[in-house]
Chain A
Amino acid sequence: MVLAVGLFASMPTFIDTSWISVFCEILILTVAASGLNLMMGYTGMISFGPAGLYAVGAYTTGILIVRAGAPFGLAMIAGPIVATVVSLIVGWFCVRRTAVYFALLTLAFSELIHTVIFKWYGFTKGDDGIVDIPLPDFLSSIDSYYYFTLACTVVCLLAMWIIVNSAFGKALQVIRENPNRAEFIGINVRKYQLVAFVIQGFFLGAAGSLLCGFSHSVFPTNAHWTKSIDIIIACLLGGIYHFYGPFVGSAVYILLDKVITSFTEYWSLFFGVVLLILVLFFRGGIAGFVSERLSSVTHEGS
């Protein structure tokens, strides 16, 4: 952990500016995917609609800065908070259903949020998006915004690490493994699922706010279902049963995107093949695959 943070912190000194923004994207996707994973990987609630809450965070920050002239710090904090409130409302309905019906409800709400953003021109500027979002001077360079994003990512990951390793986190895993039995050890399954939903909403919103500052703009595509797929794939690629899985997945996903698009326009074709290989041969994602290898090595050694 310390090593990874050190490596990321020293990045701007030896790599190109264009790559700094790539790493910024990786960090933002890491926050979103880790948040989703807290619900999907740890609690076993498969979601198809993380982008809705992600966009709520992004638009809250964008609208507060541009329309209300709110200070940057306040707008950044308001993003995840508003996303938390929205996820409480959305989650209250979603946790009433399980498995694929739950997943479809999350998709439906996410599309609903997308539609509201798209159609409510007077408030969200619809298709035009909100552009030219000003940042405070000390964050205007890409290097300084990168450090800001890194710091936020570390704080978010640390908070999530504490949550999943707590007694509450254990209850979430128990629910994932066997929700019926969880009831019979005295866990109010629906209540815990709602709390997990709200926590992921907070971190998705935080990621959205970070994105808003990073790109100085927000568009309805942030709420589109294809954005949900990005976040879900980052989780699955890295491995949903490992805390660092979403980080690994985000890094691989975005780097593959940059590398493949640099030499071909058929990026999705190549990516499809890579995804196929990962799903077929790296069960449990990259992190799952690596930890399995590592444990077999250490077991042979002992």
Chain B
Amino acid sequence: MLSIQGLVKKFGGLTAINNVSFEIEKGELSSIIGPNGAGKTTLFNLITGHLRPDSGKVIFNSKDITTLPPHEICRLGIGRSFQRTNIFPRLSVFDNVQAAVLAGQGRCTNIVSFSKNLCREETFHVLEMVELGDKKGFPAGLLSHGDQKRLEIGIALALQPSLLLLDEPTAGMGPEETAGIADLIYKLVRHQGLTAVFVEHDMSVVFGISQKIRVMHLGEIIATGTPADIKGDAQVQRIYLGEE
């Protein structure tokens, strides 16, 4: 589904991503772990068009998307949630999700439709998934941190992506909220046929739901495998898990 081929990205003298290649299969739920500064977010930025690689290719459903702008990549079906909450603060929770539903369906060019009545069902469906139905009228900027993270994921889901990239979906959440998000991601992949990749620091989530784990260190992928493989990998133990 997604094929990363020899990606390289340098910032000045620093090589943030160094010859990274991997494949993501349809229906896969995988995670990327690694210490801070390993290049995880940069990798997401390269895939979603926020940054352009110095060399290498990103192929999505056998289409080369390496040089496409973010909005076009998004319309091809790659949704993304952000590490720092990245929502539309003064709009209501409902409007946040509805805007994404409308944009995802390419209906935002319609200049005469009365938007209040558009796509209500789809919007409520997403709000229910992320359990924000009762807060639909709230200005999004006033939600608690945990709810903003949920909304963040809701906006990404509203686009009905086929591939979802989640950057630290549970960062800053309490244990209960974290479990809720992990459960949501698991269900989406299992029951709705989504493909998801997430970056995460919470090892209980990573080892709890990932089918495959990739470990990044200094811009390179140093190990790939099932949770059991990764747990037993001596190099990973030394540079990453051992530190914690």
**Measuring CB to CB, which residues of chain A are less than 8 angstroms from any residue of chain B?**
162-163, 165-171, 173-174, 177-178, 180-189, 192, 241
Please, how many residues of chain B have a CB less than 8 angstroms from a CB on the other chain? 38
A181 & B155 in contact (Cβ 8 Å cutoff): yes
* B104 contacts A163, C-beta separation under 8 Å: no
29 A–B contact pairs at CB < 8 A?
A162-B111, A166-B114, A167-B107, A167-B118, A168-B108, A168-B110, A169-B115, A170-B98, A170-B102, A171-B103, A171-B108, A173-B88, A177-B90, A178-B87, A180-B86, A183-B70, A183-B71, A183-B74, A184-B70, A184-B71, A184-B80, A185-B103, A185-B104, A186-B75, A186-B103, A186-B104, A186-B159, A188-B69, A188-B71
Q: Is the CB of A178 within 8 A of B86?
A: yes
Q: Give the residues in chain A near B200, CB-CB below 8 Å.
A: none
Chain A residue contacts of B87, Cβ below 8 A: 177-178, 181
Contact pick for A174, options B75, B82, B88, CB 8 Å: B88
- Give the residues from 60 to 101 in chain B that come closer than 8 angstroms, CB to CB, to chain A: 69-72, 74-75, 80, 82, 86-91, 95, 98-100
- Give the residues in chain B near A241, CB-CB below 8 Å: 90
CB distance B103 to A177 under 8 Å? Answer: no
- Beyond A178-B88, A178-B89, A181-B88, whether A170 also contacts B115 by CB under 8 A is yes
- Residue in B50, B100, B104 whose Cβ sees the most chain A Cβ within 10 Å: B100
How many angstroms from the CA of A162 to the CA of B86 in the assembled complex? 28
Which of A165, A180, A187, A241 is packed against the most chain B CB atoms within 10 Å? A187
A104, B87: Cα distance in complex, Å: 28
Give the residues in chain B near A171, CB-CB below 8 Å. Answer: 99, 102-103, 108
B113 at the interface (CB under 8 A from A): yes
Whether B112 lies near A166 (C-beta < 8 A) is yes
Given A171-B102, A185-B155, A188-B71, answer yes or no on A166-B111 (Cβ-Cβ < 8 Å): yes
In angstroms, Cα B71 to Cα A152, docked, is 37
Residues of A near B158 (CB, < 8 A) are 185
Q: Is B116 an interface residue (CB 8 A)?
A: yes
CB pair B111 A187 closer than 8 Å:
no
Tell me the interface secondary structure of chain B in the complex. Answer: loop
Minimum CB–CB distance for B49 against chain A, Å: 8
| Interface-centre pick from B69, B80, B91, B115 (highest chain A CB count, 10 A) | B115
Q: Which residue of A lies closest to B158 (CB)?
A: A185
CA distance A165 to B114 in the complex (A): 6
Pick the residue among B48, B89, B112 that contacts A184 (CB under 8 A): B48
Alpha-carbon distance A267/B49, docked complex (angstroms): 54
Given A165-B115, A181-B155, A185-B100, answer yes or no on A170-B108 (Cβ-Cβ < 8 Å): yes
**Chain B residues with CB below 8 A from A162, complex form:** 111-112, 114
**Cβ of B192 under 8 Å from chain A:** no
Measured CA separation A22–B80 after assembly (Å): 53
Looking at the complex, which one of A166, A178, A180 makes contact with B110 (CB distance below 8 Å)?
A166
Chain B residues near A166: list those with CB within 8 A: 110-115
| Chain B residues near A181 (CB-CB < 8 A) | 82, 86-88, 155
Residues of B within 8 A of A168 (CB): 108-111
- Whether the Cβ atoms of A189 and B71 lie closer than 8 Å is yes
Chain B interface (Cβ < 8 Å from any Cβ of A): 48, 50, 69-72, 74-75, 80, 82, 86-91, 95, 98-100, 102-104, 106-116, 118, 155, 158-159
What is the bound-complex CA distance between A55 and B70, given in angstroms? 38
Contacts of A186 in B (CB 8 A): 71-72, 74-75, 103-104, 106, 159
Q: A168-B110, A174-B88 are in contact. Are A184 and B74 (CB under 8 A)?
A: yes
- Closest chain A residue to B77, Cβ basis: A186
| A98 → chain B closest CB, angstroms | 15
Give Cα distance in the complex from A182 to B106, angstroms. 13
4 closest A-B pairs by CB: A177-B88, A171-B108, A186-B74, A183-B70
State the Cβ distance, B130 to closest chain A Cβ, in Å: 15
What is the minimal beta-carbon distance from A114 to any residue of chain B, in angstroms?
31
Q: Using Cβ atoms and an 8 Å threshold, which residues of chain A touch B118?
A: 167
How far does the Cβ of A277 sit from chain B's closest Cβ, in whole Å?
Answer: 25
Q: How far is the CB of B95 from chain A (nearest CB, A)?
A: 7
Chain B residues in 8 Å Cβ range of A163: 111-112
- Max chain B C-beta neighbours (<10 A), residue from A166, A177, A186, A241: A186
B200 to chain A, nearest CB (A): 19
Kindly list 13 other residue pairs between chains A and B, CB separation below 8 angstroms, not including A166-B114, A173-B99, A189-B71.
A163-B111, A165-B115, A166-B115, A167-B115, A170-B98, A173-B95, A183-B74, A184-B48, A184-B74, A185-B99, A186-B106, A187-B103, A188-B69
**Set of chain B residues within 8 Å of A170, measured between Cβ atoms:** 95, 98-99, 102, 108, 115
- The distance from the CB of B84 to the nearest CB of chain A, in whole angstroms, is 11
Q: With both chains docked as a complex, state the minimum distance between the C-beta of A107 and any C-beta of chain B, in angstroms.
A: 26
